[in-house]
Structure 1
């Protein structure tokens, strides 16, 4: 294998806040009326950038904002399941950058492309199919158990012999997608629509479009002949 790129799914391959608003509204149904309005206003302020919350991604932000009003893991999980069903329907507006599809088609003959997501298969695979992305990946790995599972899955894709200097991780959740990759010696591209960059990354941007030039140049460098070390 010439090289490997690990793409996260949620918050990375598509743009749009509809899932997070639906998730918040589903949680809010179980709150007292006065708490519902206050909570949903806080979620909207976060999504609009008026009041940024320190969170790994918008899923975490929705839950963190709910905690003072309703701390119930089971309820949050049920609301998340309902949201995943909503995301697979046409009512959920999501946008995939045209540049992403072009990039994936361009790179498939040069490098192995994998989508590695913590979402379960019944959520991740239909969503990728709906977005016309599923067929553009060589490997789709749902239920990946990141951050711990990221390196394990990379090693499996390298057939047991991990090659860090030829591996790139792209994602929006720093703890899941970037920190373990950097520790393992991978190249990284961190995406954060709200500009939350808690640590180092080789490349970073507010959207996938911002890091596509880096991804393309990184793949190009893999094909360049290695210069012999100077004596």
Structure 2
């Protein structure tokens, strides 16, 4: 049976849940700040402590964020001068914990290249620690939902997570066989157009590419995961954990359970001709 639809899924915050990955990232940033004598810019707190409190309060608008006179956080919108900054610009408004860590790191004096290196090092730390010893987990029913969806649609994972040692993450989450294609190092949002083009040809038929209006993209960051697909006429679902209200998705949901219902209804609907 020809699968005329394409489901794009984000990883962190969508299929990979738990706060440990962000907190391990914060630990690496804290270590680098201490090494360079920059910890003084976060008086009385560490990045780990700030982010932990943000998660407890379910709000990313922590008092440690520094603003200019116009109310814009300092360093946001500064000119990107290297590839890490171009691919992963400092984001505002914030939509997840990773973005909060990056903003705090930049305001304390680190570069986006430093943040990128800290992120990759934190991923290695998590594996060394053992994912089973953290709160990292897949949403309940994710594996079953994706197996059912693949009967009707091509399912592709698009993630900024590095390809290096990524298989253990999928194994730990029970998602090793869940996708037709996994695109790592996607460099979203800059790399999303290229990732979408690769995904549209992942159905196995070299002559058939999924039409843009038959694509559903789901994730927790509007600019990274959804904006490009929305502009092309696809369907978008935003998991808005922190209630930011950002973007103009077709569906805004609070958690994976609501996302699953949307995906199921979409996959069972007739493809538009």
The normalised TM-score by structure 1 is 0.86
- After TM superposition, give the deviation of residue 150 of structure 1 in Å: 2.5
1:14 to 13, 16, 22: 16
- After TM superposition, give the deviation of residue 161 of structure 1 in Å: 3.6
Number of the residue aligned with 2:259? 211
Alpha carbons of 1:153 and 1:77: their partners in 2 closer, same or farther (altered >3 Å)?
A: closer
Number of the residue aligned with 2:148? 106
2:102 to 25, 42, 63: 63
2:46 to 39, 47, 50: 39
Alpha carbons of 1:68 and 1:145: their partners in 2 closer, same or farther (altered >3 Å)?
A: closer
2:28 to 14, 23, 26: 26
Q: How many pairs align?
A: 225
Number of the residue aligned with 1:153? 195
SS at match of 1:4: strand
Number of the residue aligned with 1:229? none
Alpha carbons of 1:209 and 1:36: their partners in 2 closer, same or farther (altered >3 Å)?
A: farther
- After TM superposition, give the deviation of residue 84 of structure 1 in Å: 0.8
Tell me if structure 2 keeps the 8 A contact 1:189–1:211: yes
CA distance in structure 1 between the partners assigned to 2:176 and 2:216 by the alignment: 19
Matched, 1:185 2:233: yes
In structure 1, the gaps of 5 or more residues are: 227-231
SS at match of 1:122: coil
CA distance in structure 2 between the partners assigned to 1:189 and 1:156 by the alignment: 20
CA distance in structure 2 between the partners assigned to 1:153 and 1:50 by the alignment: 31
Tell me if structure 2 keeps the 8 A contact 1:26–1:79: yes
Tell me if structure 2 keeps the 8 A contact 1:169–1:178: yes
Q: Which has the higher helix share?
A: 1
Number of the residue aligned with 2:88? none
- After TM superposition, give the deviation of residue 51 of structure 1 in Å: 4.3
Worse-matched range after superposition: 44-53 or 163-172 = 44-53
- After TM superposition, give the deviation of residue 222 of structure 1 in Å: 2.6
* Cα deviations by residue, 1:125-176 (Å, 9 ceiling, x for unpaired): 3312221212111111112232243333333333374402211001111111
Matched, 1:4 2:6: yes
Matched, 1:78 2:117: yes
- After TM superposition, give the deviation of residue 36 of structure 1 in Å: 6.7
SS at match of 1:200: coil
SS at match of 1:222: coil
The normalised TM-score by structure 2 is 0.74
- After TM superposition, give the deviation of residue 93 of structure 1 in Å: 2.2
CA distance in structure 2 between the partners assigned to 1:194 and 1:96 by the alignment: 19
Tell me if structure 2 keeps the 8 A contact 1:117–1:124: no
- After TM superposition, give the deviation of residue 100 of structure 1 in Å: 1.1
Worse-matched range after superposition: 106-115 or 82-91 = 82-91
